Structure 1
Amino acid sequence: MDKIILLLTETSLETIPKELLSDPIIIKDARKRGVNPRYLILDRARHHRAMIKLPNAEKRGRPDILHQALLLIQGSLLARNNLIKTYIHTINDLVIDVDPEIHPPRNYDNFIGLMSQLFMVGRVPPVGKPLMRFVDGINYVLNTELPDRKILLDDVRGKEISLKSFIDYVINFRRPLIMVGAFPRGPFEERTYELADDVLKIGRYVMDTSSILCRLLTVLEIELGLIS
């Protein structure tokens, strides 16, 4: 194995939808944070009453899932040894290239501020080497990384496989693309299923994003001899 390409898929990360820009809850929060409402990050913890009637609301407004995921991935031994490359695919089909050297802010409010800047400027930081930047969709990832297998981990349609069997399978590929959902509940979009060569489910239990990543990263580190 050369490198693992990890795509956090259909991530609950977006700015305030246009139909909510005039909502008093959004305006109040934007003023409090000193951010233009257009670049405020939708967050169910703060905007629940405003977003109840949004289409597909159950999958939206959870940037905390992405925050936790990035802390796990970028703090892993795989990242330290340049064995993993992360991309973020958002619920609105945008794609973000994550530099392997980035250390996400541990403070959630600081992370949200960083995401607002990313949507405003298209990259962070605004000048110098970009640590996160928008790129031209899923095709950019496929054409840049040239994965030799695309694997979707999914609790809804996935074929059940043990964690050990999954690792034994993945380790045979040079640059496998592993897609992990970063949204709270519900199925993937059909276009995501169509992208995958394999749709698998690790074990019999439904696991959240952080639980899947904790197990996956740790066992890969053991398999690759980074930790015993």
Structure 2
Amino acid sequence: MKRLIILLAEASLETIPKEIVNHPVIRRDAARRREDPRFMILDRARHHRAMLGLSDSERRGRPDITHQALLLIQGSLLAHKGLVKTYIHTINDVIIDVNPAVRPPRNYNNFLGLMSQLFREGSVPPSGEPLMRIMGVGVKSVLDLERPDGVFILDDVKGVKRDLSSFTAMLVSREKPLVVVGAYPHGAFSDYIYSLSNDIIKIGDYPMDTSWVLCKVITFIEHNLGLLS
């Protein structure tokens, strides 16, 4: 395997939607933080009451899922060896290119500030080599750029159970596999995401957190590559 590509798909990561930007909850939070409400990151822990009227609200406002996933991926042995490349696909179809060398802030509030700057400026930092950048919209842009030799969705809803050891051994045998993991609280992917896959896989008997799935898959791959002593 030359490189594993991970797509954090339909991530609950977005700025404050325009339909609630003037909600009192949002305005008070923006004033307290001295931020432009248009570029604050929607967070259910802070904005729950404002979110009640949003469409598909149960899948939105969970940037913590993306934060935890990035910490795990970018801090892995695969990342240290330059063997993993991460993209984020947001609930609004935005694609974020993550520099393989980036180490996300461990502090959650600092992470939210970084994401706010990213959506405002288009890249972070705004000048020089970006740690993250918005590269466009649509998952197809990732597929066209990377041209993976297989797209595999890890999914609790529609996946067929596979043995994790044999699945990760198959990934390692490929040159550039792309693994899709949902970065939202629960439920199924959109039909479009399913249409892109070569295989839809389930690796447990019950729904699992995104970070747990990533931890298992990455650890098994590191073992298969002989990176674990």
Whichever residue aligns with residue 173 of structure 1, its letter is R
> How far has the Cα of 1:143 moved from its partner?
1.8
> How far has the Cα of 1:205 moved from its partner?
2.0
Take 1:196 and 1:148, find their aligned partners in 2: how far apart are those partners? 11
The number of aligned residues is 228
Whichever residue aligns with residue 97 of structure 1, its letter is D
Deviations 1:80-108 (A, max 9, x none): 00000000000110000000010100110
Whichever residue aligns with residue 142 of structure 2, its letter is V
2:29 corresponding residue in structure 1: 29
2:178 corresponding residue in structure 1: 177
Take 1:164 and 1:203, find their aligned partners in 2: how far apart are those partners? 12
**Runs of 4+ more than 3 Å apart:** none
Alignment of 1:9-158 (within 5 A): 9-137=9-137, 138-158=139-159
Alignment of 1:146-225 (within 5 A): 146-225=147-226
| Contact 2:95–2:134 under 8 Å retained in 1 | yes
Deviations 1:164-223 (A, max 9, x none): 121122222110000000000111111111111111111212111011011111111111
| Contact 2:117–2:123 under 8 Å retained in 1 | yes
Take 2:32 and 2:167, find their aligned partners in 1: how far apart are those partners? 46
List runs of 5+ in structure 2 lacking aligned partners.
none
User: How large is the RMSD of aligned CA atoms in angstroms?
Assistant: 0.9
List runs of 5+ in structure 1 lacking aligned partners.
none
Take 2:145 and 2:225, find their aligned partners in 1: how far apart are those partners? 24
> How far has the Cα of 1:53 moved from its partner?
1.8
Q: What percent of counterpart residues are identical?
A: 57
SS in 2 for 1:219: helix
Take 2:196 and 2:113, find their aligned partners in 1: how far apart are those partners? 32
